[in-house]
Chains A and B, each alone.
Chain A
């Protein structure tokens, strides 16, 4: 694409202010808004088309060379397959089904282990099967990959287990340590159990840490993650983080560029059993420092504060992110779920129906597995 020089005073002046044309920040320019609305009818809307099979990546020369020997190779392969099949059924037991599915494991550094087996190869030659434990020590790291699901980088001092694979929900348990997940499976299909919450991928890339006490932290880089424990839910969009603690569950998510005072107040509010006065004091700090994007935090607080404080949170949230039509003060103060969901959708992070859909499927199939 053509590109223009940008070391100009024009560029500097353009970059120094809120610029709706650039990043939709600041007050919308009515003229640009009008053009956007008019031109939106030409926007791309087609879903993913039916794509042809992808031929696995192979060197072309080898492929061309192989073509010359197709008849001979076919006959040989058929003979070998017949012999192998005979010996297989005659002399071996069928391996357990779990060996057929799993994640490909590669060593990145040091000596990661699956049970007692040390992984030596950097090419994915080892599989982590359902029920097995993958561990890294202080000096080792590993990588997991599964077709149609994604890739997980495992940091040092980490222990995780594969809980389920196959066509349904894919689950791993992170007992302690750090993973970096890049998931391309459809939202809601990949779940990580931690000692203090479930982390549900909703189409994203994120880092999840769990320490020895079971305390966890998720930081989302792309898309969003859902954190859940016994009905307590947190949604963490890109750029945000959220902690979780055993016996408490997910804390309140926040954008990572909030002030230190905001972070501290939120941490105390979520996880310290302080006096009512201290809680109000912390809440006041949070509300006073909340910016427009901190509607993320305030929306979550609505359902986590006592009734008198809920009105304070509502008033502040209403000012920084007005509720959409149909969402009433009465409904929010009563914590009516449809109204809360409607307001969330209006905040522009993502559509909560994805999560509600996941909840329904989870409740049907996997409810007893929620961590306690």
Chain B
């Protein structure tokens, strides 16, 4: 129907393929690169759009690593830090990976700042389950499910949190995190298996049972 040929828009060219887009239209990453480039020149509206596009990702990455009561403040810290360091971002296209790295670094900083006593007294979700303070039955409280989720291996918990908590789809996670579709898909399914096992058995997955994972640097 609406194929385009030369200078005219042909409304009745049924069955013909559209002329391929000549420019970057169609790629979310190219829009991110443009937004990041505009933000680097001081465009706050552009940075606001980046916040809207990536806040869920940052929130998910942090939720996998720090206590949930701290996450909202840290999300803001991540974006403010990113804003201040935009001039150090060499490739605007690598903004998502760069932002995720800032989020992970801030999460690590948080743990370094926390006193050992705080960390010891905080307890682990699995401890709580063993003590019977929460029930991993179908009516398990959401906080207990989240605790079980955050006790999974890193590769699985980040991906699963982005999917189950932040509501992103696998393709979105892959695009935002700079991962392949295959890797995200496998992380989701293996992570889901482990989560299911944790919720059903009330026991943590033993470290020896964890499948080997490799780190993909963006």
- Residues on A lying within 8 angstroms of B by beta carbon are 1-8, 10-11, 14-15, 19, 21-24, 31-32, 34-36, 38-44, 46, 48-49, 51-58, 60, 145, 147-151, 153, 155, 157, 176, 178, 180, 182, 184-186, 205-207, 209-213, 215-217, 219, 221-222, 241, 243, 245, 251, 254, 256, 260-261, 263-268, 270-272
Contact = CB atoms under 8 A, between A and B. Distances in A.
A151 B68 CA distance: 38
B100 to A, nearest CB: 7
A14 B185 contact: yes
B118 to A, nearest CB: 21
B185 A11 contact: yes
A138 B131 CA distance: 75
B47 A44 contact: no
A209 B18 CA distance: 12
B25 interface: yes
B60 to A, nearest CB: 8
Interface of B: 1-2, 4, 7-9, 11-12, 14-16, 18, 21-28, 30-31, 34-35, 38-49, 51-52, 55-56, 58-61, 63, 68, 72, 75-76, 79-80, 83-84, 86-87, 100, 138, 140, 142, 145-146, 149, 153-155, 158-159, 163-167, 169-171, 177, 179-190, 192, 195-196, 211, 213-216
A6 B12 contact: no
Given A22-B169, A267-B14, A4 B186 contact: yes
B70 to A, nearest CB: 13
Contact of A271 (B11, B47, B52, B188): B11
B180 A211 contact: no
A7 B196 CA distance: 24
A55 B42 contact: yes
Contacts of B83: 51-52, 54
B2 A243 contact: yes
B44 to A, nearest CB: 6
A274 B11 CA distance: 15
Contacts of B195: 35
Given A11-B186, A217-B9, 12 more contacts: A1-B216, A4-B186, A22-B188, A31-B196, A35-B145, A46-B55, A48-B55, A57-B42, A147-B41, A155-B23, A243-B9, A264-B12
B55 to A, nearest CB: 5
Interface of A is mostly: mixed
B87 A60 contact: yes
A215 B8 contact: yes
B13 to A, nearest CB: 8
Nearest to B39: A54
A65 to B, nearest CB: 16
Contact of A42 (B18, B63, B86, B169): B63
A221 to B, nearest CB: 4
A4 B211 contact: yes
A24 B169 contact: yes
Given A3-B187, A39-B146, A148 B45 contact: yes
Nearest to A186: B45
B172 to A, nearest CB: 9
Nearest to A217: B9
Residue from A7, A24, A205, A241 having most chain B Cβ neighbours under 10 A: A205
Among all A-B residue pairs, the 7 with the closest Cβ atoms: A264-B14, A6-B182, A260-B15, A2-B155, A3-B216, A263-B1, A44-B59
Nearest to B62: A44
Contacts of A147: 38, 41-43, 45
B1 A57 contact: no
B214 A2 contact: yes
Contacts of A261: 14-15
Contacts of B56: 43-44
Nearest to B183: A3
A1 B23 contact: no
B22 A22 contact: no
B142 A38 contact: yes
A215 B142 contact: no
A272 B1 CA distance: 12
Contacts of B51: 48-49, 51
Given A10-B186, A51-B83, A219-B18, A3 B215 contact: yes
